[in-house]
Amino acid sequence: MASVVSTRRDALDVAAVRRDFPILRQRVHGRPLIYLDNAATTQKPRVMLEALQRYYSEENANVHRGVHSLSGRATDAYDAARETIRRFLNAADSREIVFVRGTTEGINLVAQTYGRARIGAGDEIVLSEMEHHSNIVPWQILCEEKGARLRVVPMTDAGELRLDEYESLLNECTRMVAVAHVSNVLGTVNPVAEIARLAVARGIPVLVDGAQAVAHMPVDVQALGCDFYAFSGHKVLGPTGIGVLYGRRALLEAMPVYQGGGGQIASVTFDRTTYAALPYKYEAGTPNIAGVIGLAAALDYVTAVGLDRIAAYERDLSTYAASALSGVPGLRLTGTARERAAVLSFVLGDVHPHDIGTILDREGVAIRAGHHCCQPLMRRLGVPATARASLALYNTREEVDALVAALERVREVFE
Ligand code: C6P
């Protein structure tokens, strides 16, 4: 369990949290590591690492297959993890939780199953201008195959979706709305409950890309009213290679299968295959058992710390960071929406973001530079790339100060 000992009403004890993350003790180029690349992937708490170690050293066996004790124990842990994830998302039923490799696969699954069955020539899929390639390309592949087309919700210069424009894009041809919960570049928290309400009222299903939300705020898929919600384990303190697709049960029941293979069938003859019940119908092949168990441990950890508390802590830290960064001469933040998560993208004069990233690395500060898999958004912003600092529950004001000091070094180099 998390070593964070305090009641849920207390503020987050960041020093205690930091002790739970062994990697944060290391030095890079002789300086303490300041890890501000959490939107790319988060660091892992000891309890998660121990869960992986325990699984492989004490419980390793295939699930839902063996009659032996070890397989029974692995199966119990695997099934219990699904229930942990159901609770984490407040899904109505654990059969609505499908394990996938990550957000990307979750979205591809919906495009290739629901999309291929229900979307045809002349139909429209509504996305937003700030989507990650993972929530564009799978739909584009589908559009090319079916003769459907993408419609794009524009945003304001501050990085807020134009809900009036969104509503006017919904029509009798709209077959899907797919939108990010939180932008990985702008930090914008989109009003997905409102977006879902407007679509669902017209009978249009809504997929939410939750990659950048789940580690930073409580997520309740029933309250959001969405039909699908996808996220990646590695962005919420869990392992890589595991993710979750939540799907509303009636839709998952009706959709065709995704991949075929062992574990997802009811019976097979050379003439015909019938499929297993939910969620196994979508989970062909030996699953990522260790990943699932590690993910459940990670979610238990963030739940123990408290997502409300994490959200409040990160809001405060993000406000501090935005104000500190704004004080750096020549620095311009891209993304100033009113509702924002702790993602801060910026440009600094005409210094290339890759040069910023490289110089910051020499100071021990890890950020990301590039297009962040959002090339259409970069075009909208009128820049080829940005530098991005993305914060998590273990980051501190001192680390933000170190980022600002390191940016001063960048300015000195380029003056
Ligand atoms: N964004 C970033 O540095 P995967 O690769 O499947 O775990 O997640 C894809 C993905 C989907 N949607 C959003 C909003 C995302 O931010 C990401 C991953 C990382 O911003 C890597 S490009």
pLDDT tens digits for range 298-318: 999 999 999 999 999 999 999
Q: Which atom of ligand 1 is nearest to the CA of 235?
A: 7
Give the pLDDT confidence score for residue 160 in this predicted structure.
98
Reported pTM: 0.97
pLDDT category of residue 64 using cuts at 50, 70 and 90: confident
Residue 189 lies in a domain: yes
Together in a domain, 263 and 154: yes
Going by C-alpha positions, the residue among 110, 164, 117, 151 that lies closest to residue 134 is: 110
How many structural domains does the chain have?
A: 2
Residue ID of nearest Cα to ligand 1 atom 2: 40
Record the tokens describing residue 166, joined without a space: 């969104």
Q: What is the CATH number of the domain that holds 394?
A: 3.90.1150.10
Instruction: Lowest mean pLDDT of 6-10, 100-104, 220-224, 276-280, name the range.
Output: 6-10
Together in a domain, 257 and 401: no
Residues 352-409 pLDDT 10s: 999 999 999 999 999 999 999 999 999 999 999 999 999 999 999 999 999 999 999 9
pLDDT at 10 over 50: yes
Query: What is the chain's percent helix, strand, coil content, to nearest 5?
Result: 45, 20, 40
pLDDT at 1 over 60: no
Together in a domain, 322 and 251: no
Together in a domain, 297 and 376: no
Cis amide prior to 279 (ω within 30 degrees): yes
Q: Which of 303, 318, 339 lies at the terminal end of a domain, its last residue?
A: 303
- Rounded to whole angstroms, the Cα distance separating 265 from 288 reads 18
pLDDT at 2 over 80: no
Together in a domain, 187 and 80: yes
Instruction: Lowest mean pLDDT of 7-11, 106-110, 136-140, 157-161, name the range.
Output: 7-11
Together in a domain, 233 and 193: yes
Q: Which of 303, 324, 356 lies at the terminal end of a domain, its last residue?
A: 303
- Rounded to whole angstroms, the Cα distance separating 230 from 206 reads 11
Q: Which domain covers residue 326, as residue numbers?
A: 14-46+306-414
Together in a domain, 210 and 324: no
Q: What region does 147 belong to: left with phi over 0, alpha with psi -120 to 50, or beta?
A: left
Together in a domain, 319 and 294: no
Together in a domain, 372 and 400: yes
Assess contact for 180 and 132: CB atoms under 8 A: yes
Residue 131 lies in a domain: yes
Sign of the Cα torsion 86, 91, 96, 101 reads negative
Residue 81 lies in a domain: yes
pLDDT category of residue 7 using cuts at 50, 70 and 90: very low
- Rounded to whole angstroms, the Cα distance separating 74 from 293 reads 9
pLDDT at 343 over 60: yes
- Among all chains, which residue has been given the structure tokens 């309890």? 47
Q: For residue 291, how far is its CA from the centre of ligand 1 (angstroms)?
A: 18
Give the pLDDT confidence score for residue 218 in this predicted structure.
98
- The pick from 235, 236, 244, 375 for probing ligand 1's pocket by mutation, whose C-beta has the most ligand atoms within 8 angstroms, reads 235
Residues 6+ apart with CB under 8 A from 158: 335, 336, 337, 338
The per-residue DSSP string of 257-319 comes to PSS-STTSEEEE-SS-EEEPPTTGGG--SS--HHHHHHHHHHHHHHHHH-HHHHHHHHHHHHH
Record the tokens describing residue 301, joined without a space: 């950890």
Residues 83-142 pLDDT 10s: 999 999 999 999 999 999 999 999 999 999 999 999 999 999 999 999 999 999 999 999
Which amino acid is residue 11, in one-letter code? A
Cβ count near 9 (within 10 Å) = 8
Together in a domain, 224 and 320: no
Residue 184 lies in a domain: yes
Residues 6+ apart with CB under 8 A from 144: none
**Residues with C-beta less than 6 Å from any ligand 1 atom:** 39-40, 102-104, 132, 134-135, 180, 184, 209, 211-212, 232, 368, 372-373
pLDDT at 9 over 70: no
Together in a domain, 101 and 241: yes
Residues 288-297 pLDDT 10s: 999 999 999 9
